[in-house]
Structures are given as structure tokens and as C-alpha cells.
Amino acid sequence: MTTTTPSRGRRRAPSRIERAAGKAAALQKPRVILALLLLLGLTSVMLLDGYLRAEVGGDERVRDGASSSKVPDKIINGGPIISFRGGQATTVSVPAKTIALTFDDGPNPTYTPQVLKILEKYDVPATFFLVGSMVSRYPGIVKDMVDQGNEVGIHTFTHVDLSYQSDARIRREMTQTQLALAGAAGITTTLFRAPYSSETDAIDNYSWPVYEKLGEEGYTSVFVDTDSDDWKKPGVSKIVKWATPSGTSGAAVLMHDAGGDREQTVAALPKYIEQMRAKGYTFTTVSGVIEAQNTAARAGQQANAPAGTAGGQLQGGNRNGTGRLQAAHREATGTTLYEGKALVVAVAVAEYTVPTLSVGLVIVGVAVMGRFGMMLILARRHYRLRNKRRFSWGPTVTRPVTVIVPAYNEKECIANTLQSLAKSTHPIEIIVVDDGSSDGTSEISREAARALGMTNMRVIRQENAGKPAALNNGVRNASHDIVIMMDGDTVFEPDAVHQLVQPFADPEVGAVAGNAKVGNRNTLIGAWQHIEYVMGFNLDRRMYDLLRCMPTIPGAIGAFRREAVLQVGGMSEDTLAEDTDITIAMHRAGRRVVYQEHARAWTEAPGSLKQLWSQRYRWSYGTMQALWKHRKSLTDKGPSGRFGRVGMPLVVLFQIVTPVFAPLIDVFTAYSMIFVDFRAALYAWLAVLGVQLVCAAYAFKLDKEQYRYLLMMPLQQLAYRQMMYLVLIHSCITALTGGRLRWQKLKRTGEVGTPAGVG
């Protein structure tokens, strides 16, 4: 055994890589925060959109026949407009031959503009009771409505029955709608109509306290005298008939400009206006009705008042450009105005984002399903081709090879690694490259070699320079034309080396990827990674092998022709994924890269979420670096061009783009469960899980793995996969902001022993 030691002397200055690493480390926390903020922003947008489009809980209708014993008789038998002044409830009736035309449930982008056009044509004002969520989605329609001289009132924010709601929910429904009106038209209103309300005689003990409370806060509650029942779509003639009051009675008339198909309402409205005008009726707003009563009351007071006194004052209001009174409107100012505008902007963002994400979901779903199908088909074909009796790479490779073990502080694992190599059935030379370890890795390696009687091992020490430098040092000192690279925390099965080198019988083969397996799979995190390795890594490699565009030779077990490594310049330090980098370089040099599933190595996967994040972050970011570095392969000719036009798009699609947008599946599943149809969303999620289980089960079958680990898969989809999404998003942010990382050392336990001890 020979040892190369570094020169000694004064403490060296930090290297360029170390300085860059220090700078990158300082930037990682802000990038993690940015990734989390992006996820939070997406979640908030989805929740806002869902809230706007659905009633979330508590939307129970008051039971028919409920007692009204606590409701004053003058309210039940009074007019349709209830005002509260001085703590006393009073009702207002619509004067004879007067129609207060009201519309509920809007605005609607299809029907409300048509209604407004008809009202403008006939110079008829109306009162629209608006749903706040719809106001925030279509603010332009509301502004046109108000500018045209119509009046608006509140119909809650989510069209919820307030009778059974808490005070907090009632306050929220009213406040949010006021904010939506402020943001849309710069006003607030004092008018209110409860969803599902009709005439005053329907008020009962459940709903009356709500009207009392809102009355104390200054709201005027509006009911109806005549209901067109247009929501039943009975036909134009019946809508006109049912909306017509008897005799010469005045009426607050209910129609709908939203909440469903309102074609019949739009068709009936001009006929109704013409018919009522022919009978001598005039049209006004709810405030117009109140003002008419006030005017009559003042006239009576003035008739009975002593000379020189005033009978009263007109209730405050404002007039728009048309001159029509909008007495119920108040100008929104200050915080209310700015919060309202912010709400409208947020809703606009949600309205744009969610449909865009929906399209992305379809694309991602098709890509994911397509990937599963492609993997199954090609993996089966790969298995059948490689397991045919007549299949052979060529003459059996028996010549010695060099195994390079880069090691940095591997005291827990290095002995097990060397012990597994000592059992190799293939002649090997072992080079342990100690990359400046401070834990005695070199000494432990020599002691293990002496104990095992290994005379075929060398230890080379170097100053800490990173894994690529350690591997290059090993390649330069290798004695044989085939070099095998492995990690210091990995153990080989006895025939792993022999199986791994057999493809080199084909002179076109320049590199071989082995089958890396998780050794510490008895923990929850280990089991999740075990599923991922078998399904994601090895099933993928079978597919890429057939397509001749293998993107990565795993660092845990890979073999190369030494001359090919030197030809491409060795292991590059330009990226964090030196294994992906050199694999693509092999393709571009015209070398064939294949997968040998029978060459198995057992590696120690990260044992904590923090270490797992660190490892996968490096992998993801390094892969992006490698793809960008070799982007010119897209336009190359020959083998390099083949990888660029086949392998690179597949890697970008399946390992970057699809995983980045894959959270859409989970986000929309949660969205649908909460706001749309829980059962249908659950069935859809279970169907996707079922497809994944089928793929995983087939992968386990090919690798002869125990199916019991698949019991962890549903939980993996709920927890582990979400973390991988965040890691990838974090990596994308790092790539976009130009950050850099160095080879990161993970904490090892040495629990992965010889393969015989692994279940």
C-alpha cells in the first residue's frame, strides 16, 4: 500500500470553491424562504378562488314552518322594506302604481350586461342585490351598474343563509361584500337582502335576530311583494304574469340576473316594463321608495307645523352623472377603499392564475400518465431483451479493474465498504482517495485492509478539493483500463463488479450504470427512498437504456473506460452532479452508456429530512447545471445530437418540468375536496395512486423486491413527495438566481453492512 500526503506548512487560504460555497450558504436561507412563499402564494390563490366559487360550510336553509313568535306582527304584516331607527323596527311599503324592480345573485358576465342594456334603453332604475364574491370577480360590471344610476345592495359574500351563522361569519359576509363594492365602484351600501328570503311573513325566530343585529348596524333589509319565480324558468309569459302586482298595488318585484340560465328573464324584462308602463306604473329604486315615504311624511309635518318651522330634512345621499338619486350609497374612503381595491386585484390574480394552472394540470396529468405508460412498456421490453437466453454482451470480461472509492470523513462506513470489496468475485484493484478527511478515514482504511488481508488496496491522500477532484485523482492513478466509481458509504454484492463490467465486452460501451439500492430501508424515510430508488431510478434507467439516452450513472455504482473518462476531461467541477455531467459528456463523445440491473450496490440513504433535503437539493440543482452546460447537444449531430434531441427533452420534462408542476395534482385535489366534490376528488386521487402502485409493483417484481414496502406508498405520496416538490422548486430558484453549491457531506451511521445482512 502506498500513501501520498499533502505538503505541510502554514494554513492555506480558502479555495475559490470554498469561498463560493460560503457565499452560496449565506444565500440558501432566503431562497428556501422564497420557495415557501411561492408555495404559500399558490395555496392562498387557490383558497381565494375556491372561496369565491363555493359556499364553504354552514349553508343550511331555515326549516319551513319554523315559529315566528318572536317576530313583531307589524313586521310580518308590514311592507317589504325594514328600517331600524332608534332601536325600533319600522316597515315601508311601495306606493301604489310603483315598482321597485330588484335583481338578485349578480353580477353575471353574460346576463347582467344584457339587463343593464334593457334598463338603460327604457330609462328604468333598479336595485341589484349583489353577491360579494361575484362583485370581486366582475368589478367592471358593478361600476357600469352604479354609473348607470342603479342602486346596489348586499346579498352576502358567498350566498350563505345567515340564519344559523355565528356573529363572526355574519360580520365577515357583510364586511367582505362592502370591501368588494368599494374596490369595484368606490362605494358602500346600506341595503341588504338575505339569500333565500321572500316576503316578510316568512321571517321566523331563526332569521329575525340577524335582521335586528344588522339593523342596529345601519342596514335596511329588503324583502319582496311579488316574486317572478324566474329561477324556475317557467317561460316569458309566466315570468311577466307572476311579477305583476294585483290591481294598482305597488310592489318590490324580485328577478334574477345570475345564478343560472337567465335567458327567459332577459326576454321577459322589456315586455314587463312595457306592460307595467301601459298600466300607468312608474319604476324606482328601494331608496326611491323610502324617500317617497319620507317626502310624504314631511309634507304631513309641514301641513301641521306652526308657521316658520321646518318639517324635516332629506336623508343624505349622492347623485351620479345621470341625476338619479343613490341614497343608499356611501363613498368609500380610507382603509375601506384601499382594502377593497386590494381584494379586487387579488381576485383578478386568482381568476387568471387558476385557469392557467388548470391547463397546466391537464398537461402535467397527461405527461405523468404518459411517463408511467412509457416506463411500463419499455421496462418490460428491456427486461425481456436482457433476460433472453441468447443475450450476450460478448466474450466474458475477466481482466482486473480498478475500483475508486472517494472518501471524506467516512469513518462510520469505510470499513464495511472495503469488506464488501474484499468478497468480490472479480479481480480488482482498490484505490481509496482520502479527500482531506479529519476523522481518521485513511487509518481506518489501512487497518481494515490489514485485517482482511487485502494487498490490492492503496490509500491516496489529498487536500480537501471535492469529490470530482478525488475521483480524477483515482483515475490518474488507476492501473487498469476499466475504472469503477463508488461512494464511501456503499457496499457491493460479491458479484457486483463482475456483472458491472460485462457490457464492456461491447466495444461501443463507454460507461455502465449499476443498480443502486437503499440499504437502510427499515426506517420510514428509508422505506420511502427505497420505493423511489426501485420505481423512479431503476425503472427510469431501463427506459433510458432502450432509448440510448441514459442521463445519469449513479455515483454509488458506475463503471467507465478509463480512456473515455480522460477523453472527456475527467470528472468536471463545473456542476454539483458530476455523475450526470460525465454521463452526458460520454454521450457527446460518441460512447454508449448502458444499464446493468444485475450489478447491485447497497447505499446508505439520508436518515433525516434535513440531510435528505441537502442531498436532493444538490442532485436537482446539479442536474440543471449539467443540462445547461451541455445544451449545445440539442443542435449537435450524431450520438451527441441523439442525446440532445431525445434524452435531454425527456430529462427536462420528466425530472424538472413535470415534478415542478406535479404539485398541481395535489393542490387541485385538495381544492376539489374542499370546494367542489369531495368524493369525486378522492376517487380521482386514488385512481392516480393506483396507477403509481401498479408501476411500483412491476418495478419491484423486476428487481425481485418485497412488496410489503409498497404499503408505505400512500403516505409517501402525502408527505415525502411534497418535500421533493419543495426541493425542486428551491433548486429552480437557486438556478434562476445564479447560486452555487459545493459537494456536501452527509452524516453517516455505517448501518449498511454487507449485502447478506440487508433484508
Task: Record the cell numbers describing residue 677, joined without a space.
Answer: 366534490
Q: Using CA atoms, how far apart are residues 621 and 707, in angstroms rounded to an integer?
A: 32
Q: Report the Cα–Cα distance between both ends of the chain, in Å, rounded.
A: 34
CA–CA dist 430, 1 (Å, integer): 10
**What are the CA-CA distances from residue 593 to residues 70, 419, 548, 598, 647 (Å)?**
84, 29, 7, 16, 12
Tell me whether residue 104 is one of the annotated catalytic residues: yes
* Bridge partners for 146 per DSSP: none
Identify whether 468 is preceded by a cis peptide bond (ω within 30 of 0).
no
- In total, the chain counts a number of residues equal to 759
- Which 3-state string (H, E, C) describes 367-433? HHHHHHHHHHHHHHHHHHHHCCCCCCCCCCCCCCEEEEEEECCCCCCHHHHHHHHHCCCCCEEEEEE
Phi, psi at 548, each rounded to 5°: 55, 45
Q: Please, which residues have CB within 8 angstroms of residue 237's CB and are 6 or more apart in sequence?
A: 268
- Spot the catalytic one: 49, 104, 435, 545: 104
Per-residue burial over 244-276, b if 16 or more Cβ lie within 10 Å, else e, is bbeeeebbbbbbbbbbeebebbbebbeebbeeb
Backbone angles phi, psi at 648, to 5 degrees: -60, -45
Active-site residue identified among 155, 159, 256, 630: 256
Catalytic residue status for 64: no
Q: Which of 433, 589, 570 is nearest to 508 (CA)?
A: 589
For the chain, count helices (H), then strands (E). 27, 22
Nearest 5°: CA angle at 369, between 366 and 374? 115
**Is beta strand 428-435 parallel, antiparallel or unpaired with respect to 490-492?**
unpaired
Distance CA 549, CA 593 (A): 7
Distances (CA, A) of 391 to 380, 382, 394, 503, 598: 15, 12, 9, 11, 14
The residues annotated with a catalytic role in the active site are 104, 256
